[in-house]
Amino acid sequence: MSSNTDRPAAKHARSLSGLAPFLRPYRLRIALAILTLLLAALATLAFPLALRGLIDAGFEAGNPGERLMALREHFLAMFAVGAALGIFSASRFYMVTWLGERVTADLRNAIYTHVLKQSPEFFETTQTGEVLSRITTDTTVVQTVVGSSLSMGLRNVVMGAGALIMLVVTNPYVMGQVLGILVLIVAPALYFGRRVRKLSRASQDRVADTSAIAAEVLNAVSVVQSYTQEAAEARRFSSASEAAFDTARKRTKVRSLLVAFIITGVFGAMLWGLYQGTQAVIAGKISAGHLGQTVVYVTLLVSSVAVLAEVWGDVLRAAGATERLIELMHARSPVADPPQPRPLPATRGGSRVEFDRIGFHYPSRPGTPALDGLSLTIEPGETVALVGPSGAGKTTVFQLLLRFYDRQSGEIRVNGVPTQQLKLADLRASVGLVPQDSVIFSTTAMENIRYGRPTATDDEVMAAARAAFADDFIRALPDGYHSFLGERGVRLSGGQRQRISIARAMLKNPPLLLLDEATSALDAESERVVQAALEAAMLDRTTLVIAHRLATIQKADRIVVLEAGRIVDIGRHDELVARGGLYAKLAAMQFGLETEGAAAAAVAA
């Protein structure tokens, strides 16, 4: 679902039918909105009748006093019509605006919730910026139609139809000619409408492109600045913005031609009808009041058609936006809960994990196996380290264990139950993850740690922070545990972010802990403190560790050496070094470099 120009365009405005599930819960409010809309339209249609009576009463022969009293009655009738129109219009505006805001909020929430359930495979082909564009820009377009344009359109349909019926009843000959002219206007208008719809969809796609670029660059702004690529990225964004503007310009041009054509044609039809009516008054066939009534009805008909032309453009634009939103809602994650999930047996002292002949390749790289026949059993309470060169499959083991992806062959079992027979929530609730790049949310230190267990008390959060050696630096922050940490934890050092992440995992207290190179990017002092926090977190639970720095895993119960998705050796640190295989080579490279670095530091001292 990547952003491109090849997306299929909507064939008609019926694409808006995708909004039906979001409108259905508010049937009563929709009915009330339609009722007030009809009443407002009927009040408008009653105005010409009152005007006819007023004009005819003014021209009637008779006593001036009687005529004055009759005129007062007609003015009061017109005021009553105006008051009713004001009340019904205000009610319609409130009801319809409420519906637009409510449906848009529900739509935005549904899409966001749905996207959160997608597996990482979804994000391999869909840019985050495009998803954000659909959730924000596209839903705003839908809101405009549901909360305003659609009600205006329905109101003008009723008014236009009513005015047309009254004109046909009162002046059938004249309106027969006018209708013939209107039919000639409709066919070209439909052609222009299709063009507007296609360009509206393309315009939304181009806006999504700019959002994708902005999200990507702003999330890596430090890298952009370090390579002095600000000007290049500004040009790239400007190019995307110009493409969006150019598409919007084409859409606006076609839409303007559509509106101009319809208004000009309808206005010509109106003038023809007025000309015929004037001739009828001169000939004595109708009264002046009748002509006044005809003028107002023709004006209502023309203005309704003009508004409908404008609204039709909005509807077509919203149809394209709705297609994009429903396309997102129809995306289905290949990783899902089983129809009849099994419970995960409770354990003490850690989980038992079994990998049985696992074969897997990433969807975007079908010809490259990430794991090839991997078999491994991890006993409860055991600490197992995964080592190997980049691309060996270490992180893939974690992703399959958490069911971010499903393996193509073999079976993974936790406490004897295949992971594909477990509810995703139950499986993931039993696993704590400390990633290499710690995720810090834009909230307080307290809430960042509590993310591991939202029901935890403040005392439990603080206890987890103390266990992760994070309590001291958190209390030193300006507002302690209630200090705002900034977006992605920009106010913290790398080691402090890692300790927040470890505290979060310890608060969750899972029987299985996954450590993904948790100390690889830290300096020596931060690594020492974080390593102490990790050792505390590993007590009484099964732990899987990915580490490039071999010094951090020498105490592991077993070290599993991976290469090209296969296990090439298993043992403790000393055993693996003595065997002289891949691990020994990696150890010689790392420890040799560390020894040289220490000697150089001693000489410098």
Inform me whether the pLDDT recorded for 589 exceeds 60. yes
- When pLDDT is averaged across residues 338-354 and rounded to a whole number, the result is 88
Inform me whether the pLDDT recorded for 94 exceeds 60. yes
pLDDT above 90 covers a percentage of the chain that reads 9
Q: Quote the tokens at residue 589.
A: 């490279």
Inform me whether the pLDDT recorded for 7 exceeds 80. no
- Residue-level pLDDT at 251: 75
What is each CA distance from 91 to 24, 45, 69, 84, in whole angstroms? 21, 18, 33, 11
- When pLDDT is averaged across residues 352-362 and rounded to a whole number, the result is 91
Q: Which CATH number describes the domain made up of 436-509?
A: 3.40.50.300
Fold observed for domain 16-329: ABC transporter transmembrane region fold (1.20.1560)
Beta bridge partners of 378: 353
> Which of 26-40, 254-268, 389-403, 552-566 shows the lowest per-residue confidence on average (mean pLDDT)?
254-268
Strands 369-378, 353-361: pairing kind: antiparallel
More confident residue, 354 or 74: 354
pLDDT digits (tens, 9 = 90+) for 279-326: 777 777 777 777 777 777 777 777 777 677 667 767 777 777 787 788
Rounded CA separation 424/403 (Å): 7
Does 16-329 match 436-509 in CATH topology? no
Cβ atoms 387, 570 nearer than 8 A: no
Cβ atoms 33, 103 nearer than 8 A: no
Does pTM top 0.85 for this prediction?
A: no
SS (H, E, C) 519-584: CCCCCHHHHHHHHHHHHHHCCCCEEEEECCCHHHHCCCCEEEEEECCEEEEEECHHHHHHHCCHHH
pLDDT digits (tens, 9 = 90+) for 17-75: 777 888 888 888 888 888 888 888 888 887 777 777 767 665 554 566 665 666 677 67
More confident residue, 269 or 594: 269
The pLDDT confidence band at residue 1, using thresholds 50, 70 and 90, is very low
Look at residue 317 and give its three-state secondary structure. helix
> Which of 116-130, 486-500, 514-528 shows the lowest per-residue confidence on average (mean pLDDT)?
514-528
| Most confident of the ranges 31-35, 76-80, 228-232 | 31-35
The pLDDT confidence band at residue 194, using thresholds 50, 70 and 90, is low
Cβ atoms 213, 236 nearer than 8 A: yes
Q: Which of 109, 59, 60, 54 is nearest to 82 (CA)?
A: 54
- Residue-level pLDDT at 6: 38
Domain positions in the chain are 16-329, 349-430+513-600, 436-509
Look at residue 350 and give its three-state secondary structure. coil
Query: What is the average pLDDT score of the chain?
Result: 78
Rounded CA separation 308/152 (Å): 8
Give Cα 542 to chain centroid, integer Å.
37
Look at residue 11 and give its three-state secondary structure. coil
The CATH H-level superfamily of 349-430+513-600 is P-loop containing nucleotide triphosphate hydrolases (3.40.50.300)
Rounded CA separation 131/230 (Å): 24
- When pLDDT is averaged across residues 567-573 and rounded to a whole number, the result is 89
pLDDT digits (tens, 9 = 90+) for 499-539: 888 888 888 888 998 888 766 555 666 667 777 777 777 78
pLDDT above 70 covers a percentage of the chain that reads 80
- Residue-level pLDDT at 418: 92
